[in-house]
Amino acid sequence: MNKPILYRKRFIPNECNLLKDDIILEYNEDILVTKWRFLHERCDDLFCGYSCCYLNRGFRISKFLREDGSLKCWYCDILTYEHIPEENKLIMVDLLADVIIFPDGRIKVVDLDELSEAFENRLIDEALLKKSLLSLSKLLDEIYSKGIDELIAPIEKYIS
């Protein structure tokens, strides 16, 4: 498969950014594995990361690394995507809900308030709200029943 041009679309804030610096490590009909640096300074100790987008499962898991290479956290975005083959574009659409998995094993679900706000302000419709909640539920079920080893395996094989 040809490596697509990647974009990230968000509802809050309303933006669609070209991910021009992302390096595609693996791409097929099921997964997209990338290496990247943070677009914006989010926090002093975040530097770069790796992501595995499970295209047909509604989420992406990312390994957030500090500048010294140590793990900050695993960050799971709930998303969907738009594929535009004639333009070779893959637009990752952030569905707002996220899950953070800390190195000590703690799990935190975040940004459900943004999901509610986006629905209330008609930035997303009922179908996207349902898609977000169902993908979040499936991801949490998988994490609680199996852990994250299987989910992070596509990323870990690229890290030396």
C-alpha 106/C-alpha 68 separation (Å) is 22
Q: Which domains does the chain have, with CATH numbers?
A: 5-156 (2.40.380.10)
CA distances from 25 to 28, 42, 43 (A): 11, 24, 25
pLDDT (tens place) for every residue of the chain, 160 residues total: 789 999 999 999 999 999 998 999 999 999 999 998 765 555 556 678 999 999 999 999 999 998 888 999 999 999 999 999 999 999 999 999 999 999 999 999 999 999 999 999 999 999 999 999 999 999 999 999 999 999 999 999 998 6
- Threshold 0.85, pTM exceeds: yes
